[in-house]
């Protein structure tokens, strides 16, 4: 018997629920639905889905409260799908632990790609300390986690220690947007003031070293007002 990834869709609009079910089942996913926050809590704990697709505007509670609750005990992938387009909403959801944030309307291909990325993150081969091993390869970009080096077209990019840490962190969560504040905490520690300038300086240096044209990056992208995202591996 084939084992399919189970996806919980938390959405109160029946029309959108039917759309999700049709698209996901056609792509060989097992789909369960919840139309309220209370139903979502019950299904998350009883069904343990492989991915949660979460709308924020639920009739009985804000979807962010569900995200907070899940992150207290689980790292299961949560993809927020919302009509809220303001940067602060995206940042808040990502900082609370959302794996991704898609704004409505969206394309079917984009949704499926985000789901595949979320599932891949849960299955990445990390060692017990959570540090990636092996290599990340995308086109001419190679992150060698064992040697702590980044190569472009076979040449060492000459990154500083902090620059390597930033690229390594982005590579660990390839395809996912990492917020400015999250990167700053991970690289410089929790006591570092949330000053994006030091991060922007480091990122400018990284792009100068790894991008053919820093003004039109092909490896590391800026999500304006939110953070950075690295291209997915080959």
Within 13 Å of residue 55, how many CA atoms lie on the same side as its CB?
A: 21
- Of the pLDDT bands very low, low, confident and very high (cuts 50, 70, 90), residue 131 is low
Contact 104, 81 (CB under 8 A): yes
- Of the pLDDT bands very low, low, confident and very high (cuts 50, 70, 90), residue 20 is very high
Q: What is the pLDDT of residue 126?
A: 44
| Model confidence pLDDT, tens digit, residues 94-115 | 989 898 999 888 889 999 999 9
Among 8-12, 59-63, 72-76, 112-116, which is the least confidently predicted range? 72-76
> Does 79 have pLDDT greater than 80?
yes
Rounded to whole angstroms, the Cα distance separating 8 from 10 reads 6
Q: What is the pLDDT of residue 46?
A: 79
Per-residue pLDDT, averaged over 20-37, amounts to 94
| Model confidence pLDDT, tens digit, residues 142-200 | 999 888 899 999 999 999 888 998 999 999 888 888 999 888 888 877 667 667 888 99
> Does 139 have pLDDT greater than 60?
yes
Write the CA distances from 184 to 46, 168, 188, 189, integer angstroms. Answer: 36, 13, 6, 7
Contact 50, 6 (CB under 8 A): yes
pTM strictly above 0.85: no
E-state strands within the chain: 6-10, 30-34, 51-54, 78-82, 100-103, 135-138, 141-144, 149-152, 155-156, 178-179, 220-223, 227-230
Could you give all domains of the chain from N- to C-terminal order, each with its CATH number? 6-122 (3.40.50.2300), 135-230 (1.10.10.10)
Q: What is the pLDDT of residue 124?
A: 58
Strand 155-156 and strand 30-34: the pairing is: unpaired
Per-residue pLDDT, averaged over 205-223, amounts to 94
Among 3-7, 17-21, 164-168, which is the least confidently predicted range? 3-7
| Model confidence pLDDT, tens digit, residues 48-68 | 788 999 999 899 999 999 999
């Amino acid at each position: 018997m084939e084992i399919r990834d189970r996806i919980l869709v938390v959405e109160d609009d029946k029309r959108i629920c039917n759309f999700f079910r049709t698209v996901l089942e056609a792509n060989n996913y097992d789909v369960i639905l919840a139309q309220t926050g209370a139903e979502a809590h019950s299904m998350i704990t009883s069904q343990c889905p492989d991915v949660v697709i979460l709308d924020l505007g639920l009739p009985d509670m804000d979807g962010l409260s569900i995200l907070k609750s899940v992150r207290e005990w689980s790292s299961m992938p949560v993809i927020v799908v919302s009509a809220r387009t303001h940067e602060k909403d995206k940042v808040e959801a990502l900082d609370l632990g959302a794996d991704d944030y898609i704004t409505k309307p969206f394309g079917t291909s984009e949704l499926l790609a985000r789901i595949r990325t979320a599932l891949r993150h849960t299955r990445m081969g990390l060692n017990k300390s959570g540090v990636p091993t092996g290599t990340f390869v995308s086109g001419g970009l190679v992150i060698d986690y064992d040697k702590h080096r980044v190569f472009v077209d076979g040449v060492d990019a000459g990154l500083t220690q902090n620059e390597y840490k930033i690229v390594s962190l982005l590579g660990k969560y390839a395809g996912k947007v990492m917020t400015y504040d999250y990167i700053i905490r991970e690289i410089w520690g929790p006591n570092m003031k949330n000053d994006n300038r030091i991060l922007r300086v480091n990122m400018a240096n990284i792009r100068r070293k790894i991008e053919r044209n820093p003004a039109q990056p092909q490896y590391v992208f800026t999500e304006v007002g939110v953070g950075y995202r690295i291209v997915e591996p080959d």
